[in-house]
Amino acid sequence: MMLAYLLYFALFVAGTLAVSAWAPSSRAALIVMLGFWMFNCLVAPRAASDIAKTLRPTPSAFEFGHKVELALQGTGHDASEERTKRLEAELLKKYKVDRIEALPINFNGARLQDGEDHGNQVFDDAYAELWDIFSQQERIHRVASFLAPSLALRSASMAFAGADFSQHVHFAKAAEDYRRMLQRAMNEDLMKNASNTGPYFAGDDLWAKVPPFAYTAPDAGWVLVRQLPSFGVLLLWAMGTAVMAVLAANSGRAD
């Protein structure tokens, strides 16, 4: 993060020196730099965000939730009742019995896990589509950073603070993997230890064998690799303004 801010500081210093050397007066130099600051820090971030949302619009929370709900309910062969009937037929055939009560596993546990598997696929598809839209919006911001280096600095700063989109997805996937593991453990215990005719009670040993959620955040190297484009933009701006400052200084000495 310090390196990103040093590059940002360097490009402003070099740019200010170049404009000061070329401008006919200190007032003109001030106006130019204030104009650049306003565009870079005030106009560009908002404009980039609006352009990204226009080109790659995201669904509203209601639209996203409604779409997921419809996919979970399904129609025809994907409907909940149809999946239950299909699962029942498959299990009866697999264990060669003619009724649910004769199954060696608990049918409710198998049905719950089958519903989980279906829901997992629905959520995977829905969030993959949503995250792809966010990734495309990020790419638009990255392109816009060639015009406004503050966008590249913001991207790098958020990343090294652990608040960028990539790390949000990293945590969300880890949390979801843990939830699925926990749910599968509960359903499998129900399948193995519950009968199809009586009540089911799980002991403390079931919870004791489930490990606690332990999340390991990405290290700096992981973040840096994903922020190389941002550092590349900041470096190009710093080098470009440095060249401008040198040319301006040489021009002033020649005069």
- Contact in structure between 32 and 21 (CB atoms under 8 Å): no
Indicate the number of domains in the chain: 1
pLDDT of residue 62: 95
Which amino acid would we find at residue 102?
A: A
| Dist. CA 236–CA 149, nearest whole Å | 10
Please state whether 76 falls in left (phi above 0), alpha (psi between -120 and 50) or beta: left
Residue 252 pLDDT:
59
- Give the Cα separation of 180 and 157 in Å (integer): 32
How far is Cα 190 from Cα 109, in angstroms, rounded to an integer? Answer: 5
> Each residue of 19-45: pLDDT tens digit?
999 999 999 999 999 999 999 999 999
Given a cut of 70, is residue 163 above it in pLDDT? yes
pLDDT of residue 197: 75
> Looking at residue 255, what is its pLDDT?
54
Span 48-58, pLDDT tens digits: 999 999 999 99
- CA-nearest of 247, 244, 253, 249 to 32 is 244
* pLDDT per residue as tens digits for the range 93-137: 999 998 888 889 999 999 999 999 999 999 999 999 999 999 999
Mean pLDDT of 162-184: 96
Integer Cα distance of 147 and 126 in angstroms:
33
User: What does the angle CA 184 – CA 189 – CA 194 come to, to the nearest 5 degrees?
Assistant: 135
Print the domain residue range for 226.
2-254
> DSSP string covering 6-17, please?
HHHHHHHHHHHH
181-185 average pLDDT score = 94
- Condensed to tens digits (0 to 9), the pLDDT of residues 199-244 reads 888 888 888 888 999 999 999 999 999 999 999 999 999 999 999 9
| For residue 254, pLDDT beyond 70 | no
At residue 250 the predicted structure's pLDDT band, cuts being 50, 70 and 90, is confident
- Phi and psi torsions of 223, nearest 5°: -70, -45
For residue 74, the model assigns a pLDDT of 72
Q: pLDDT tens for residues 186-203?
A: 999 999 888 777 788 888
Residue 170 CB neighbours (<10 A): 17
Q: Residue 3 contacts by C-beta under 8 Å, 6 or more apart in sequence?
A: 231
